[in-house]
């Protein structure tokens, strides 16, 4: 058996998935939602072997800690606690304020780490809709919560937008789906979102509909093509109409992107910048799409 000092906890890579599913199966923990959210898993390695895992699914300023597992031969050395602490570090860095979990077998284990029992009804709707929450085997599980001290979202730089919308209920549903997160504040005539994957503080309030700003659009720039593809798959699976543009030249850059439109017609692009076009001929191509002159920067113009 490896000593915990020889183990490394790090972000999971796609090739770790079969080993993690094997650990979960062995411990009788559900697989639901694991593959979809595997980019948000941490694994513990002892040399080439995966000996532990934990997932942290983010939903706005809340997160679901799930799938904590340590291989039987490596239990009792502090690895389970170390995986939880590392996941909580990740949560704090991401501005998460509340971490929830479901457990049938390990209530006392998590109490020792500071988690407290909460009624399931008090948990954010987006967390309640997660794969683990709706899995049949978890219906009788206890819900627990840890409030993270010092996790102040206000410290994370975010662009603030306040949009007046025609139909607040409809817009709320759209942005819940687009961001994959519940609002962090709901008041009469007002909701606020702090999406986990965009540096954005978006408030919506009743009031007639915001026109597209000066004929333009809004957007979220992500760090990689993989992130764009992941968010695109999630949003398409939720039934939101999207327009995909991969490898387009736009705004003097080559980008992979997709567009969605809110209920008032406001266009959002979600994109990654592949490379700038300053020194390139206008007709250069890359990626999946046909390329147009660099001045197109509106949905559907590529």
Ligand X SMILES: CC(C)(COP(=O)(O)OP(=O)(O)OC[C@H]1O[C@@H](n2cnc3c(N)ncnc32)[C@H](O)[C@@H]1OP(=O)(O)O)[C@@H](O)C(=O)NCCC(=O)NCCS
CA distance 228 to 200: 17
SS3 readout for 240-269: CCCEEEEEEEECCEEEEEEEEECCCCCEEE
- Which residue of the chain is nearest ligand X when measured via CB? 80
- Cβ-in-10-Å burial (0-12, 13-18, 19+) of 260 comes to buried
Min dist CB 1 to ligand X, Å, is 12
Tell me how far, at minimum, the Cβ of 149 lies from ligand X, in Å.
Answer: 21
**Nearer Cβ to ligand X (79/220):** 79
User: Least distance from C-beta 52 to ligand X, angstroms?
Assistant: 7
- Closest distance to ligand X from the beta carbon of 35 (Å): 18
CB of 49 to ligand X, least distance (A): 15
Strands 49-59 and 218-221, bridge-based pairing = unpaired
Structure tokens at 99: 């971490």
φ, ψ at 81 (rounded to 5°)? -65, -40
The CB-of-99 to ligand X minimum distance in angstroms stands at 12
Closer to ligand X by CB, 42 or 163: give it: 42
Whose Cβ is closer to ligand X: residue 108's or residue 279's?
108
Q: How far is the CB of 37 from ligand X (least distance, A)?
A: 15
Residue closer to ligand X (CB basis): 50 or 291: 50
Task: Report whether 260 contacts 242 (CB < 8 A).
Answer: yes
Closer residue to ligand X, CB minimum distance, 70 or 294: 70
- Distance, CA of 120 to CA of 124 (rounded, Å): 9
What Rg, from alpha-carbon coordinates, does the chain have? 21
Q: How many CA atoms lie within 13 A of 225 on its CB side?
A: 13
Nearer to ligand X, 104 or 233 (CB): 104
Q: Give the nearer residue to ligand X in terms of CB position, either 56 or 79.
A: 79
8 Å CB contact between 127 and 133: yes
Binding site for ligand X (CB under 6 A): 27, 29, 68-70, 75-81, 103, 105-106, 108-109
Rounded Cα gap, residues 243 and 232, in angstroms: 10
- Residue 84 is inside which H or E element, if any? helix 79-93
């Amino acid at each position: 058996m490896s000593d915990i000092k020889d183990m490394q906890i790090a972000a999971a890579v796609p090739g770790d998935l079969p080993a993690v599913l094997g650990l979960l199966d062995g411990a009788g923990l559900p697989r639901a939602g694991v593959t979809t959210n595997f980019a948000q898993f941490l694994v513990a390695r002892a040399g080439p072997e995966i000996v532990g895992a934990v997932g942290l699914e983010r939903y706005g300023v809340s997160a679901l800690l799930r799938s904590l597992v340590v291989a039987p031969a490596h239990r009792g050395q502090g690895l389970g606690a170390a995986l939880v602490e590392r996941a909580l570090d990740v949560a704090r860095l991401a501005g998460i304020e509340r971490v929830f979990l479901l457990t049938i077998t390990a209530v006392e284990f998590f109490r020792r780490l500071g988690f407290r029992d909460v009624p399931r009804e008090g948990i954010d709707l987006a967390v309640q809709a997660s794969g683990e929450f709706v899995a049949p085997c978890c219906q009788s599980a206890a819900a627990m919560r840890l409030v993270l001290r010092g996790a102040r979202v206000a410290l994370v730089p975010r662009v603030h937008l306040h949009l007046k919308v025609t139909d607040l209920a409809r817009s709320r549903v759209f942005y819940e789906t687009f961001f994959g997160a519940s609002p962090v504040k709901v008041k009469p005539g007002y909701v606020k979102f702090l999406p986990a994957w965009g540096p954005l503080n978006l408030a919506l309030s009743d009031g007639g509909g915001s026109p597209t700003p000066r004929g333009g659009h809004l957007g979220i720039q992500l760090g990689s093509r993989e992130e764009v593809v992941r968010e695109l798959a999630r949003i398409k699976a939720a039934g939101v109409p999207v327009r995909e543009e991969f490898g387009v030249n736009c705004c003097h850059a080559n980008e992979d992107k997709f567009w969605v439109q809110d209920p008032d017609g406001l266009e959002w692009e979600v994109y990654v910048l592949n490379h700038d076009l300053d020194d390139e001929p206008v007709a250069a191509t890359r990626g999946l799409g046909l390329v147009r002159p660099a001045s197109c920067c509106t949905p559907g113009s590529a």
